A and B are shown apart, each in its own frame.
Chain A
């Protein structure tokens, strides 16, 4: 399930990366702040669009979730680490949109939703694993 959710984020990240690299600005559907957010100085780290880093993060989360689903405990622990970093980054980006840019973009909010769903899934899985583990 987590792997499937990560794929949604990966698709979003790829789309925004392409829009950035082609010099376009994705048009918002529900809100009106896509141009303000995606053209802001926070949309890239030097020459690298932030969306590309997001796509890499989602691909990493997808890989770890898949390996975890096939029984790798190491991958499961790595997934918790990756999703934690992604979730903290998401909170920071939401803060920037709300209080610095005063604008929201649909695609960024979608990504925030995906990361939040990933975090919820990973926490739930970790709690279930704890409960299933034999107590000493």
Chain B
């Protein structure tokens, strides 16, 4: 009997492990997303890249300091390029409190937006994320990016602490909260939540193609 005891214990642990996994999965599984989300409106006008009349709308809630956001950025850029005027991308600010410079970066992007260069600052922030995230003081970096983008830096500095920037970020965050967003990045395609496991290029293409009625780009 003792000879078979370890095999019995191994089998018991296997069954317990699988059972524990299934029970956990049952309790942690998220409810299916609503068919289409609405929520609060967010900042108006929204930051939009692409054709507003496009049949597919991708809305991103992002945080410039978040690493997965910066990894998703080149994927979205490629999709924007490949799908052309059939895809429009909206960006919503959702700086997380746990990120030291996320709010500062969001302010910088919005301040640049007030001079018509939101997306240029958006791209610059993601491209240089590793640099400014590890800085002791982030403002000199943000001011430097504003200079590189040809912005009026004095106005940029004033706008960064201005009421309009604060209002826009708060409006986007209110929209995020109304959609129960507690992380970043969160993507919606035509109002449908994209699972965090489906943010790779192939999965996003599949969703966009489906929304386009299976037409290839």
List residues of chain A with CB under 8 Å of any chain B CB.
Answer: 7, 10-11, 14-15, 17-25, 32, 35-36, 39-41, 44, 55, 59, 62-63, 66-67, 69-70, 101-103
Contact = CB atoms under 8 A, between A and B. Distances in A.
Given A25-B183, A32-B98, A70-B5, A59 B17 contact: yes
Nearest to B5: A70
Contacts of A24: 28, 30, 196
Nearest to B21: A14
A35 B6 contact: no
Interface residues of B, number: 29
Interface stretch (B50-58, B65-73, B80-88, B140-148): B65-73
Contacts of B71: 40-41
B131 to A, nearest CB: 12
Nearest to B65: A36
Interface stretch (B7-15, B34-42, B105-113, B119-127): B7-15
B20 interface: yes
A22 B28 contact: yes
A40 B130 CA distance: 15
B196 A39 contact: yes
Contacts of B10: 62-63, 66-67
A15 B24 contact: yes
B137 interface: no
Given A10-B17, A103-B67, A21 B196 contact: no
Contact of B30 (A22, A41, A62): A22
B195 interface: yes
Contacts of A69: 6
Contacts of B183: 25, 35
B13 A7 contact: yes
A18 B134 CA distance: 32
A18 B21 contact: yes
B66 A35 contact: yes
